[in-house]
Structure 1
C-alpha cells in the first residue's frame, strides 16, 4: 500500500489566543494530542506563535516544526507564499490561523490574502479552535485513527444546526454537494440558508423527499446583501449553528463583504464552538469525513 503524504500545516495565532495557559492555541494542541500523535504533521509556525508553543511546553506534541519569522518581519507574508507554492516539499496543505475577532492584525492585507489564497488553491483555512480541532480529528479518522471520545457530542447531528450558503457562481456546486451528501445533511436537526440558496435546496429536497416532506427542509433567511448573513450570525452567537458551509467565489467583488466578514467574525467570537468551511474544493472531502466520523461509536 502506498504511503500517505505527511501533512504540512501553517500555524499562527493572534496574541490573545496564545499567551494564557488556557489559550486557544494550548487548547488546540493539548486537546488534539491524539490526532497529532497519529498524523505526525509538519508545522510551519510564524515566530511569536512558536515562542508561545515553547513557553507552554507544546513541542513534545508537535515535534516537526519549521520556524517562520515574526509577523512584523514578514512571517505571515511568507506563509501566503507557501500556500501557493507548487513544490510539495515546501507548500502547506492547510492553514490554522486562530483569529481573535478584535485583533486588527487579522484584517491586514497579508491576513486577508492568506484566506483568499487558501480558497483559490483549495486548501482548508481554519480560523477557529473548533474548526481546527474538527479538521485534525477528521483527517486522523480518514487515515485510520480511533475516534476522540471527548469530541463525541459535537458529532451528534440530531442536536446540531448547519448553515449552507453559496455565492451565485457556486450555487450549482452547493446543489451537487447537497444531493451527494443529502442523507448526511438530512440527519441535522436544523438546516439554514440565505435567500436563493435556501429556495434551491428546498426544491432539491422536494425532489428527493417529496413535495410536502421537502418543502421546509431548509429554513431560508434573507439574501446575503439584504442581511441574511447577519441573521445567521445571531444564530451562531446563540450557539444554534455550529457549522457553516459557505462556498465563496473569491474572484468577484462583493458589495456586502462586510456582511460576510460579520458572519465569520461571529464564528470567531465563539471560537471553541463554531466554524466556517469556505473552500469548495475540499467540501466534498469534509462532508465524506464528517459522515464517517458520525457513524463511529
Structure 2
C-alpha cells in the first residue's frame, strides 16, 4: 500500500505516536508525507518516507497530486478542527480529492487505526472500491 501521512501542527505528536505504535505495519508499505511531519516520523521511527515540501510551502498540494493520479491507497491527515492555523495544509481540498477518487481517508486517530488495521489485514480491499 501507498500511505500518505499529514498532520496539522497540534497533531504532529499524535501522528508520530501512531507511527511508533504501528511501525511493524507501516514498514511494509510505501510512505509519503509532508516535510515536517515526515521528518518527525522518520527521526523517531527510522521509517523510510518520501517527504515532500512542508504543508505551507505546497506539500499538501503535492500529496493532492498523488491522490489525483491515484498513486495512494490511504491518506491519514490528522487535523486540528479547533485551532488550525492559516499556514497549515488545506484539509478540505484533500478531503474533496479523496471523495472524488474514492480513497479512504482518516482525519482522526481512531479512524486511522481502524483503516490501517483493516486494510493491512485485507489486501484485496480495492475490490470493494470497484463495486460502487
TM tier, smaller: 0.7 to 0.9
Residue in 2 that maps onto 1:195? 35
RMSD of equivalent CA atoms: 2.2
Give, in angstroms, the shift of residue 179 of structure 1. Answer: 1.1
1:249 and 1:236 map into 2 onto residues whose CA distance is 21
Residue in 2 that maps onto 1:232? 63
Q: Does structure 2 retain, via aligned residues, the 8 Å contact 1:194–1:229?
A: yes
Query: Relative contact order: is structure 1 or structure 2 higher (C-alpha 8 Å, sep ≥ 6)?
Result: 2
Q: For this pair of structures, how many residues does the alignment match?
A: 124
Give, in angstroms, the shift of residue 185 of structure 1. Answer: 1.0
Give, in angstroms, the shift of residue 248 of structure 1. Answer: 0.8
2:18 and 2:74 map into 1 onto residues whose CA distance is 15
Residue in 1 that maps onto 2:129? none
Residue in 2 that maps onto 1:278? 107
Give, in angstroms, the shift of residue 182 of structure 1. Answer: 0.9
TM-score normalised to the size of structure 1?
A: 0.38
Residue 178 (structure 1) aligned with residue 7 (structure 2): no
2:65 and 2:38 map into 1 onto residues whose CA distance is 18
Residue in 1 that maps onto 2:98? 267
SS of match in other structure, 2:51: strand
Residue in 2 that maps onto 1:104? none
1:200-232 Cα offsets, whole Å, 9 max, x none, are: 1111232xxxxxxx5xx0111111122111111
Residue 247 (structure 1) aligned with residue 72 (structure 2): no
1:35-93 Cα offsets, whole Å, 9 max, x none, are: xxxxxxxxxxxxxxxxxxxxxxxxxxxxxxxxxxxxxxxxxxxxxxxxxxxxxxxxxxx
- Give the number of the structure whose alpha-carbon radius of gyration is greater: 1
SS of match in other structure, 1:239: coil
TM-score normalised to the size of structure 2?
A: 0.81
Residue in 2 that maps onto 1:105? none
Structure 2, gaps ≥5 residues long: 124-132
